Each structure stands twice: as C-alpha cells, then as structure tokens.
Chains A and B, each alone.
Chain A
C-alpha cells in the first residue's frame, strides 16, 4: 500500500532539548496507523514536529509534497487535521465559536456533528471551559472531522475519559477512518486493536518496530516495548 505521509530522519527539539531522534515512518493511504510507545517516548512530540509545532529537521513528505519547511497553518491547510492531546479547546469561547474558528476553506460538514455528537448542538452557547472532559473531546474531534481532510493526526483521544465516552470516541474515529487515513497515538490497546491496521513503535525517541497491528498486539513484543502484557490490555 502506498503512503500518504512519509517521514525520514525526523529530529525535534523543545526548549533546546532533543525529544525525537531520527524517526522514520510511513502513514498508509488508507486506514489507521498507530504510533505506540511508553510514556514520554516522543509520540506526541513526533506529531507536533510533523505539524511544525516544535523545532524540527528531517524530510516530511505529504502526498508527494515536502511539508517540513512550512509553517503550521500552511500544513494544516493542505488537509491535515489535528486532534491534540489534552483536547485544547478554547475554554473562554463558546462551543459554537470553537467550531466556527475551526472551519477551513472548502465545505465544512456541520451535519457530521449532529450525527456523531448530538449533545454538542444543545450546548452551542455554552463556554467550552465549563464542559466535561468527554464533551471537550467531542468539540476537539468535531473541529477536525467537520472539514475536508486528507489526513488525521489524533493524539491520545481517549486519555482520561469515562468508559462510555471512550466508546463514543472510538466509534467516531472508526467512521472517520473509513474516509480519511489517520496517524493515531493511543495508550488504550483495545482502542488500538479496534482501529489500527499498522503499528509503529517508538522507544527512546526512535522507531523500534513497524508491522501489522494484530500480529504485534498478539506477540510478546507488546510486553517488551510497551511494558504491558497482552492480557492487561483492558487496564
């Protein structure tokens, strides 16, 4: 399968400290590629570096075009949507304002919000800062999913959410993944199993394993690279 995004020799620095070292990976044209690894290994930093949110060097090619020298908003305008870790909704803005801000050129599809997260529509006038964590994640996902995207970068979408919301979020991501390729950072291996077809595993800022998701999740590599055994997945 061909890749929509190829990364070669990516280094990233935050505040003068190297957080990602020589990472090379591909994101397939279809389906979900999961980026795995222990805490603090550089998964989120890798995604930020791809978006130009940290200082970075290396070659990043998106749909045949080099994007490693572009400013963040230009990268996003090429059709790459970002769902950040910790959601990062604008707490002082209303839900509606959060969504309006995120509308990019093209044809934003507001109907998808009614379909996936109907409760957001009732809260359109509410300040996003007063929403629950799960509702904030719905806002964050809506900001990304309502646009025409060619790639989704999704960082820990289920972190800190109640089990019921995890289900809602997973369903939404599953639906999105049918239309748009996705690079997903996720700690919850059940979610990974449900969504991903390929995994890329980071350790010490480097890629240590790349391969099909199911085979990886069923092998003892899970234990070696992530420090959990397969039957602990539910945790």
Chain B
C-alpha cells in the first residue's frame, strides 16, 4: 500500500534495504547508553548519563504510544479522543496489581509476570468494551463517545474510586516485587533498553497488523465501507479488533512508563494527553508508521528542551510580550502544530518524502490519504 514507488525498488527504498536501515537505527539506539554523545540543545547531557537516558526512554515510550494511536487514527481513519485511557490502564493497572499482589507471599518474579499478564487482560477487556460501544457510531459521534468515556475514567481516577487509584497523588510502583535490574538510577540503562524493546515490539506489531488482511480491510473500509461489506466482512468487527489491539499496545507502553517513572498520576488519563498524541501523529505525518515515531521523539525532546529554555536566563530577561509565550512549551508546540496542519499536511515524514522524491525525479508526495478519506 504505502510502500515505495515501483520505479525505485532499489537501494534504500527496497524492502530489504529498509529493513537494514531499521535494524541499523535500532542498533545505534541500543548502543547509545555505552557512548558519550553530547548534542547540546537537543539532549540534556551525554547519552550515557541517567538523566538523558530517562528522557530518551520516555520519548521512545511516547513514540510507542503514538504508534498505537496511529493504528486507530492513521490506518483506520477513526478520530479517538480517548486513547490515553489505555495508556493509563497499563500504567495504573501494573502499579495497582503489583501493590495488591505484593503482600500475598508469591515469589516476586511470579508476581511481576502475573501483574503484567493481568494488566494486559484488563487492557484487552477495556479496549473491547469501549470499542464495542463507541464503534456503534462513527465520525464525530465516535470521537465524542471516546472523549466522554475517557473523561469519566479520568474523573474516577481523580476521585480515587475504590481507594485504588490514589486520587491526585496517583499510584507509586511497589519496587520490592519488581526485578532488581529494573529498579533505581543505576539501572536506568536497563530501563532505556526496555523502552527501546517496547518501541520495537509495538512497531513490529503495528507493521504486522497493517500488512495483514485485516489491516487492508480496515484501510479499505476507511475508503469505501460498501466494498468491504460486499466482500462479506463486517467492518465493525474488524475495526473492533484494531481498536482493542491498539488499546493493548498502548497499555504495554503504559507499563513501560510505570517502570520508568515509578509512578503514575491522573495527568496521563486526561483528554489533553490524548490530544497531545493527536498532535504527535500529525506532526510526524498522518498515515506513516515512521511519522508516529519521529513525531513522538521530536515532540518529547522539544517539550523537554522548551521547558528548559523557559527557565533559562535568556528568556527571563525578555519583555513580557515575548517572555510569557516563550516560557510556555505547550503554546509553542500548539502553534507549531497549527502551522504544520495548515502548511505541511504530511508532517515531518511527508516533508522528507517530498524532498527525496523530488530529487528522484518522480512526482510529488501524495497528500495524506487518510485526511481526504475521513472527509468523504
């Protein structure tokens, strides 16, 4: 579908070429904790330091989350405003189940594995329930239902319903039942590798789903519902499968987040957090898997660096008219997003494609098909 144009199935654009590039990127990413690369202005410090590794690990988890959102928004063309709830389900689920199981006397390794499995099951059930309800409507109504459900979840988490979620304080990780190699600042590089593994895993899962028959059916249903129905498939069930798959993948990223941050707060279940995902996917390029990853990493790093910039002396000395907007990262990111939507609808990856294709002499990049289809 969205593979390279047939005219240039050679070199880096062929399938094996791209697998090689992907493997090389992963290998370089895996080596970072062993190296001392310092990119001032982009990273907070050299790549082996825990601070930098934490930022990078966080960026990769957000990228993984964005990838799972890409399945719903970019592939199926469904605008969900509730995706953050599955990320929160992963983070909160792992934290709560670990805390509940910790005093039972089961060996800690078993507790850890069991907690992961239980959390995945919770995410699967939640994904199917929410999807089953929300997918009965489509378009803007679907967006509203997901928004409303996510909002209700957020309220329940904040209110500490059943004494499980800890209200505004959130949930902290019960470290005694977590394997030692994932605990503490000294093990940050292990957490980094875990985050990388999660990102790669989610990427492969998304690639597999997109290339499977189901993925093609969902993409086709986005363009023409009737055609799929004629093929004897029920778009509802296919979409539900995709929705719950994305929910589980988001929960996986959420679990990684819990292990990395050692705590979860209601912030990760807000609709604003889902809107951030939307921003990331569009910023990176709607419809491209790489777009979600690039968007996730660029967004997180920008967010971090803009926050650092906000508290810098250079900004503090400016007059209010400049100082106030520049010291609000979300303001700058929001306006950047608006500009991308208005002037570069293909996002970062779309721009890159346009540049490389023009150089290759072929026709200019397509507009993101998803955006057109959703309007039809």
Q: Which residues of B contact A (CB under 8 A)?
A: 223-224, 369, 372-373, 376
Contacts and interface: CB of A to CB of B under 8 A. Distances in A.
Nearest to B373: A16
A13 to B, nearest CB: 9
Contacts of A16: 223, 369, 372-373, 376
Contacts of B376: 14-16
Interface string A163-178: 0000000000000000
Contacts of B224: 15, 17
B229 to A, nearest CB: 16
Contacts of B223: 15-16
Nearest to B376: A15
Interface of A: 14-17
A135 B224 CA distance: 35
Contacts of B373: 15-16
Nearest to A17: B224
A14 B224 CA distance: 11
Contacts of A15: 223-224, 372-373, 376
Which one of A14, A15, A17 has the highest number of Cβ atoms from chain B below 10 Å of its Cβ?
A: A15
Contacts, number: 12
A229 B184 CA distance: 86
A15 B369 CA distance: 10
Contacts of B369: 16
Given A15-B373, A15-B376, A16-B372, 9 more contacts: A14-B376, A15-B223, A15-B224, A15-B372, A16-B223, A16-B369, A16-B373, A16-B376, A17-B224
Nearest to B372: A16
B370 to A, nearest CB: 11
A48 to B, nearest CB: 15
A11 to B, nearest CB: 16
12 contacts: A14-B376, A15-B223, A15-B224, A15-B372, A15-B373, A15-B376, A16-B223, A16-B369, A16-B372, A16-B373, A16-B376, A17-B224
Nearest to B223: A16
Contacts of A14: 376
Give the 10 A-B residue pairs with the shortest CB-CB distance, closest first: A15-B376, A16-B372, A16-B373, A16-B223, A16-B376, A16-B369, A15-B373, A14-B376, A15-B223, A17-B224
Nearest to A14: B376
A17 B223 CA distance: 9
A175 to B, nearest CB: 39
A72 B372 CA distance: 20
A33 to B, nearest CB: 31
Contacts of B372: 15-16
Q: Which of A14, A16, A17 has the most CB of B within 10 A?
A: A16
A16 B375 CA distance: 10
A212 to B, nearest CB: 39
A192 B369 CA distance: 41
A14 B373 CA distance: 10
B1 to A, nearest CB: 14
Contacts of A17: 224
A14 B369 CA distance: 13
A184 B376 CA distance: 27
Nearest to B369: A16
A189 B47 CA distance: 79
B216 to A, nearest CB: 16
B193 to A, nearest CB: 43
A16 B373 CA distance: 7
A69 to B, nearest CB: 18
B242 to A, nearest CB: 21
A16 B367 CA distance: 12
A17 B369 CA distance: 12
Nearest to A55: B372
B284 to A, nearest CB: 23
A17 B224 CA distance: 10
A164 B376 CA distance: 38
A179 to B, nearest CB: 39
A16 B223 CA distance: 8
A158 B376 CA distance: 29
A16 B224 CA distance: 10
B118 to A, nearest CB: 43
A16 B220 CA distance: 12
A15 B376 CA distance: 5
A14 B372 CA distance: 10
A16 B219 CA distance: 13
A163 B64 CA distance: 65
B173 to A, nearest CB: 48
A16 B369 CA distance: 9
B4 to A, nearest CB: 21
A108 B376 CA distance: 36
A66 B376 CA distance: 27
Nearest to A15: B376
A228 B376 CA distance: 34
B230 to A, nearest CB: 15
A102 to B, nearest CB: 27
B138 to A, nearest CB: 15
A15 B370 CA distance: 11
